[in-house]
């Protein structure tokens, strides 16, 4: 019993010594000091740029975008007023004329006014031409309609609301194929959107077993299409001859961007 008592005492002493050493070796306490900092309230007018294709090939779409932004501006300012907020927003509208060089010039004009958020740049060609400037100057661009696959770049300053043409193109090819068409002559805009969409659609169409002619690319700036129409007529004639040699063939004369041609 006496031996056990001695062992018990030694064990308790060891615990106490170990606890003391552990306490001495422990890192010093870090005192956390909480300080309240008053953040100045936001006030004034926040300018938001809107570079829309108010003229040019996408003008009909831009009209809707402009009306939507005007309604949003009115409703947001009404809400801010109801909340007794001193903040207001102002949308600065710019016309890109559906031209990439004009779009870049307008973006630079907005940047000179201190604008850091821009809605618009509706075509992929405009986005491509403005992207480097937007990224370099950290201007957030929100495009409602750009779809070129090669502009889907992570960690940049461009946000796009539409799925890119790697989704739309194959879906288009499937619709054409399911309608019974097996031969396509693509006629398309010679810009980032037109080229990207045709490449995505026709690649899938060929995978399904269809035949794709070389196609005809036209300039988005063009207003006269005599040469393109003449070339298309010759290609259609050759396509008809080709299909006549195949039983049950059907021909779809589908012109990409026909609204711009007609």
**Could you tell me the two tokens for 132?**
């480097």
Please compute the mean of the pLDDT values over residues 59-65 and round it to a whole number. 95
Least confident range from 84-88, 137-141, 172-176, 179-183: namely 179-183
**Does residue 93 sit in the same domain as residue 191?**
no
**Does residue 113 sit in the same domain as residue 51?**
yes
**Does residue 176 sit in the same domain as residue 142?**
no
CA torsion through residues 38, 41, 47, 50, sign: positive
Domain count across the chain: 2
Q: Which residue is it, tokens 């090939």?
A: 57
**Does residue 187 sit in the same domain as residue 222?**
yes
**Does residue 133 sit in the same domain as residue 186?**
no
Distance CA 51, CA 110 (A): 9
What are the pLDDT digits (tens) for 65-101? Answer: 999 999 999 999 999 999 999 999 999 999 999 999 9
Instruction: Of 90, 167, 196, 103, give the one whose Cα is nearest residue 141.
Output: 103
The answer to whether residue 240 is domain-embedded is yes
Dihedral (C-alpha) 92, 93, 95, 98: value to the nearest 10 degrees?
100
Least confident range from 29-33, 57-61, 67-71, 239-243: namely 29-33
Instruction: Of 150, 153, 177, give the one whose Cα is nearest residue 165.
Output: 150
Instruction: Of 228, 230, 148, give the one whose Cα is nearest residue 194.
Output: 148
Distance CA 157, CA 224 (A): 37
The Cβ of residue 190 has, within 10 Å, a number of other Cβ atoms equal to 16
What are the pLDDT digits (tens) for 20-54? Answer: 555 555 566 767 777 777 767 788 999 999 999 99
What are the pLDDT digits (tens) for 146-171? Answer: 999 889 999 999 999 988 899 999 99
What are the pLDDT digits (tens) for 193-204? Answer: 889 899 999 999
Residue-level pLDDT at 3: 52
Greater model confidence, 262 or 126: 126
**pTM for the structure as a whole:** 0.70
Give the percent of the chain with pLDDT over 70: 82
Greater model confidence, 11 or 154: 154
**Does residue 57 sit in the same domain as residue 98?**
yes
Residue-level pLDDT at 25: 55
**Does residue 174 sit in the same domain as residue 110?**
no
Residue-level pLDDT at 221: 83
Residue 16 scores a pLDDT above 50:
no
Domain that holds residue 99: 44-160
Beta bridge partners of 94: 51
- The CATH number of the domain holding residue 120 is 3.40.50.2300
């Amino acid at each position: 019993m006496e031996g056990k008592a001695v062992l018990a005492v030694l064990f308790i002493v060891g615990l106490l010594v170990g606890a003391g050493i552990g306490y001495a070796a422990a890192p010093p306490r870090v005192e956390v000091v909480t300080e309240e900092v008053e953040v100045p309230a936001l006030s004034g007018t926040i300018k938001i740029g809107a570079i829309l294709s108010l003229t040019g090939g996408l003008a009909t779409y831009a009209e809707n975008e402009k009306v939507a932004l005007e309604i949003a501006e009115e409703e947001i300012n009404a809400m801010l007023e109801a909340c007794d907020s001193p903040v207001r927003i102002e949308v600065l509208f710019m016309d890109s004329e559906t031209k990439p060089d004009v779009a870049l010039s307008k973006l630079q004009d907005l940047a000179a006014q201190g604008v850091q958020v821009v809605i618009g740049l509706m075509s992929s060609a405009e986005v491509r031409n403005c992207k480097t400037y937007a990224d370099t100057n950290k201007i957030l661009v929100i495009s409602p309609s750009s779809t070129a696959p090669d502009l889907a770049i992570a960690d940049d300053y461009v946000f796009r609301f539409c799925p890119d043409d790697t989704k739309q193109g194959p879906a288009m090819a499937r619709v054409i194929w399911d309608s019974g068409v097996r031969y396509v002559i693509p006629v398309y805009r010679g810009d980032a959107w037109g080229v990207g969409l045709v490449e995505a659609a026709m690649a899938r169409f060929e995978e399904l077993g269809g035949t794709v002619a070389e196609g005809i690319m036209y300039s988005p700036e063009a207003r006269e299409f005599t040469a393109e129409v003449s070339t298309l007529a010759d290609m259609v004639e050759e396509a008809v001859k080709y299909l006549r040699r195949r039983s049950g063939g059907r021909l779809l004369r589908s012109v990409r961007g026909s609204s711009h041609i007609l």
